[in-house]
Structure 1
């Protein structure tokens, strides 16, 4: 039997079939054998190929017949509507922060710093060393490597004033990125059907994690100094919530920093209600000005659950962070982490520790301040000059974002779509509000690529804003 002969027959018959009427009969095997000068086995092989392609129907005892063009059966997902009914409410779509950027687009949407703001040489060397070590072929402890846990603990303990017992390595649970850690916190401390208090607006990932955990979000008002204490107390009293989520330092998306007095009031209120404060210190390494002391440094009774990330500052490819908690809550968090992922990759832990222990790490962070300042100021000036209809509500002292207030009658989601059509990616502010937005906003990142194109991006944003105002 000749495969090449069968393929030739298939190719020629496909040309014939294109013009043949549906239901018409193909020549018999004997006729095809004579036409192509091959044996019947070769013809039968070709016919089987045509049957497999859906072009021919073989009817035993009757012959082979041409099939009409049949559109593919549409995929049917209706069954999933019923199967997913227990998810509890609408699940948000992929955040604008995670959208991929085309080569030519100007990206102001991303929540991660571009590669030139990362310690790339340190990261590559650390990963190479980690791959040669035991971490490449062994599993890590459930709570994380002792050395990395000690580093996280030492970092927080360095801020602790005299008279307060500092945290130790045994209080640390290493997590595969703090987004994963937030999921554990909301599941293990709050739990389905319970409430979590959050500022509004706040980090979209915290909103998503809380909703996925089946937790009800109770928003509280904020002013220039942080959460309004009376509103926080009211929310805790009315909801029965025992978890408060906040970003006291360089908040995403607003860039806000809680004042020292407000930090003390919030901690006092949390203690009064027997609650936990989840302090998300994601931007600790992105201070343009000096970052305030973490609230967790003043916690002497286990009320603060401290969240610290390295993924953004070391490398987005090294998903490593930590949750620091004291008392029984730490064991509950560790149990949840073990149930979800067993342990964090030892290679990534080893590489992260290698980077932060290098003297060049501190040198990198010092240089990063100036580079972030330049980018921030360039984007602020571009928006103020080319989008006069918008207001930069706060020039942040750290972090990665600007929070821009739009004119009242502008739809931020429509604006984001219009900008994308013009090659500029921005993030509509709606996804940072756990309830109804207080107004139209954009979140613009100044740590992305191509800062020389910020003015071009601002021109596009301004033109799209004015289109809506006509």
Structure 2
């Protein structure tokens, strides 16, 4: 009863305050008791509620008054425009792939797998065990824990053909995620003002990292089967570039996997020009129909700078990656890392190592492969049934994404807005092109949550397309 009385009194007083001028004195407790038929305790409780809401203020011995609400003065940040100048990078805003998903919306835009595709039990147990070790209280070596470096080297050596000297632990550097690794590699290997060949389209984060490093991007067309070797050779000859950034295995966003011949051809071109291939093996653990075959496994003379991350397959919270680089280039990358992050958390390294060395890790990867195949096929079928105007040139053999082309003339920004209004988030493909887009593509993540709603999402995309002028 008291709660009901207090609630009614609060509602009545809020209405009174809304119509009263600032500084007006509230009626006395006795008057409020008489008018509303409540006790002094109920009045006191209601006044405290109003004060907590910032509507009134009490002055001991005087009374309670309507609070003067001051309109906040807008902050003047205009001076920062001159202080900061124009941004150095091409991309100055957060990627659309990092938007939060509103409640009940279907998120096809993200670059990460759903939580149920992660080895949650292994991760939680590994973090608990790592917290009990010296790694929780000591500084890790600048180049990473020796045991974790050895694991990455062994993983690469396991797929090296006979006759190729495999990488060893001394060739490996541990990084706080592959994104920071790209920045260091571009600064150390390429350098500001110098050209870097990149596939087009390619990972938006690599475009951003290169721009922030002051590197000049040189697009090389790439499609469902990867780039044409002749285009790669021509770009090296015309620009004098010293590096080519590529994703030969389940490329983001196209899903392309280079054939064995293409891997050999590109490696030969890189060697011929005395250059580097920066190989981003981001989806190594996300195979579906084929096996990953890194170009780095074919190289034993230091022409491939190989980058592999555990963020997508283990946990976004364990931002641990590795770069395999042979020769002086390793020391240059290490020096850049020391200037920016000094070392990677030993606790995270220990936990990551724990996860990937458990017997259950391989079982988990087999399970994820099955789940990714089911989700991929479900989204492919949904698009083909409900969005027949979308051209899906390639069904990827691994990774997380589809790369359909919308009808020519589609306004991608408007399409994304129309989809979002209807409760579906998609990623316009413009972000993945280092120059002008080659067509109206969108990237759709088939590894996100709620695969049972993929058909609903496809119908929504079709509806959004029909709504465009």
On whether the aligned pair clears a TM of 0.5, the verdict is: yes
Match of 1:46 in 2: none
Question: In 2, distance between residues paired with 1:348 and 1:16?
Answer: 54
Deviations 1:215-245 (A, max 9, x none): 1110012244321122212212222211100
Match of 2:10 in 1: none
Deviations 1:111-148 (A, max 9, x none): 11111111111111000000111111111001000000
CA contact (8 A) 1:249 1:283 kept: yes
Q: Which runs of 5+ in 2 are unaligned?
A: 1-12, 24-53, 57-66
Deviations 1:449-469 (A, max 9, x none): 00000000001000001112x
Match of 2:457 in 1: 457
Match of 1:327 in 2: 327
Secondary structure in 2 aligned to 1:174?
Answer: strand
1:301 CA drift (Å): 1.2
Secondary structure in 2 aligned to 1:333?
Answer: helix
Match of 2:228 in 1: 228
Q: Which runs of 5+ in 1 are unaligned?
A: 1-10, 22-52, 56-66
Match of 1:403 in 2: 403
CA contact (8 A) 1:107 1:449 kept: yes
Secondary structure in 1 aligned to 2:335?
Answer: helix
Match of 1:154 in 2: 154
Give the TM-score normalised by structure 2.
Answer: 0.85
CA contact (8 A) 1:114 1:447 kept: yes
Question: In 1, distance between residues paired with 2:141 and 2:20?
Answer: 64
Question: In 2, distance between residues paired with 1:112 and 1:16?
Answer: 48
Deviations 1:389-417 (A, max 9, x none): 11112111000000010000111121111
How many residue pairs were aligned?
A: 418
Secondary structure in 2 aligned to 1:382?
Answer: helix
Question: In 1, distance between residues paired with 2:158 and 2:465?
Answer: 47
CA contact (8 A) 1:171 1:324 kept: yes
1:298 CA drift (Å): 0.9
CA contact (8 A) 1:249 1:291 kept: no
CA-atom RMSD, angstroms? 2.4
Give the TM-score normalised by structure 1.
Answer: 0.85
Secondary structure in 2 aligned to 1:363?
Answer: helix
Match of 2:358 in 1: 358
Question: In 2, distance between residues paired with 1:224 and 1:451?
Answer: 24
Rate the CA distance shift 1:433–1:457 in 2: closer, same or farther, 3 A: same
Secondary structure in 1 aligned to 2:307?
Answer: strand
Match of 1:104 in 2: 104
1:80 CA drift (Å): 1.8
Question: In 2, distance between residues paired with 1:384 and 1:94?
Answer: 31
Match of 1:349 in 2: 349
CA contact (8 A) 2:223 2:254 kept: no
Question: In 2, distance between residues paired with 1:426 and 1:196?
Answer: 29
CA contact (8 A) 1:227 1:266 kept: no
Question: In 2, distance between residues paired with 1:89 and 1:171?
Answer: 31
Question: In 2, distance between residues paired with 1:17 and 1:418?
Answer: 41
CA contact (8 A) 1:126 1:355 kept: yes
Question: In 1, distance between residues paired with 2:404 and 2:223?
Answer: 16
CA contact (8 A) 2:224 2:393 kept: no
- Residue 118 in 1 paired to residue 130 in 2? no
